[in-house]
Amino acid sequence: MNVAVLVTGGISETLQTTPLLRTLRAGLPQARLTLLCPASAGLVAAGISPVDEAVALTSLEGRVDGPGAGHVWGALRRRRLDALLLCSTQAMLRVAAFFAGVPQRIGPGGGVTAALLSGHVTAEPSENLAATWLRLARLLGVRVQIHAPSFEPGPEARREADRVVYGTGLTDGRLLVALAPGTALTEQDGLSMEATAWAPERYALLANQLAVRHGAGIVFLGGPADRDVIERTMMDLGASAADLSGERDVRVLAGVIARCDLLVSGDTPLLHLAAAVGTPAVGLFGPTDGRVRGPYGSDHRIVQAVAPAVPLSSPAGSPGHAPMEQIRVEDVLASIEASI
């Protein structure tokens, strides 16, 4: 039996498919399992162990247009699939699956093109994407459910991560907390990066509180463009800290997070990497819904901002709409202390 899982978006969404992929492997051990994912998640897909074949497609980045749907149609047609599980509600992907002749086309319902699906599930209000997609397996007759996300960075990435972390001088048995104050890794299309940012001064105050109350050491993570905001954060820091930002290999980042006791981040793939390598995470969410986009599992906490009242003409992410400012350091600290 040839079964494929297709997901759009980025690294975050690809990692949110891992409970579904693990469940399919457990329930259909003889099946050939293919993952079709965005090109940006190609390195991540290679480390998802239940998958026999990972196919990274540029056409699956963000909103899929007509030519992109044609590329997807070709990828599906070549593989002669028995079943396709769509981790997306995009109409063009449903059309591509239908005309590719896949007998079983399963996905979340909603919209006119849901009629092109052979089976669908209904997402519960504010349900995590991983939980919604996990229920798709039941429509293939799989009754077992494996809820934990999973990603293996690989031995070389883990060795490099060990070298980087041990080089900080913070691996002396103290609590090690990773903070990601920047927004360079944000993947949410159509949203300004500033809208998902929590103030550097608040990250600094949080780090100082963790050092005083728990003796924590701090490592900062982020992309190369986050260096400036991390430097501003470290100016107000009294805690022992190391700047590990700038690492471009997502596998090494995962290895570093695996060495930490906790991660605090906004809406970035780092939250899902933490969940997939077994590190508790605290996600800070403002304009996006942390219950839907946040890390999946009971070990993780979501701090959701309450957006201030703004005129209807002022959309989320505009200068007059700053929900992240509603998140207090005390709120985040309480969530951390519930996790450690």
Alpha-carbon gap, residue 97 to 275, rounded angstroms: 30
φ and ψ of 130, to 5 deg: -60, -40
Of the candidates 319, 301, 299, the one whose C-alpha atom is nearest the C-alpha of residue 311 is 319
Task: Please give the average pLDDT of every successive group of 10 residues along the chain, which has 340 residues.
Answer: 96 97 97 97 94 96 93 96 97 97 97 96 94 97 95 96 95 95 82 83 96 96 94 92 92 97 96 97 95 95 74 43 88 90
φ and ψ of 176, to 5 deg: -115, 115
User: Which pLDDT score, from 0 to 100, does residue 339 have?
Assistant: 79
Strands across the sheet with 32-38, in order? 53-57, 32-38, 2-7, 83-87, 104-108, 119-121
Q: Residue 49 gets which letter from DSSP?
A: T
Alpha-carbon gap, residue 184 to 108, rounded angstroms: 30
Residue-level length of the chain: 340
User: Which pLDDT score, from 0 to 100, does residue 311 have?
Assistant: 39
Domains, the chain, ranges and CATH? 2-140 (3.40.50.2000), 155-339 (3.40.50.2000)
User: Which pLDDT score, from 0 to 100, does residue 247 have?
Assistant: 83
User: Which pLDDT score, from 0 to 100, does residue 315 have?
Assistant: 46
3-state secondary structure string, 198-221?
Answer: CCHHHHHHHHHHHHHHHCCEEEEC
Structure tokens at 255: 């290895």
Alpha-carbon gap, residue 8 to 61, rounded angstroms: 6
Side chain identity, residue 288? T
User: Which pLDDT score, from 0 to 100, does residue 182 have?
Assistant: 93
Residue 32 CB neighbours (<10 A): 15
CA atoms within 13 A on the CB side of 226: 29
Stated pTM of the model: 0.93
Reduced to 3 states (helix: H, G, I; strand: E, B; else coil), residue 178 is: strand
User: Which pLDDT score, from 0 to 100, does residue 322 have?
Assistant: 77
299: Cβ contacts below 8 Å, ≥ 6 apart: 275, 280, 281, 339
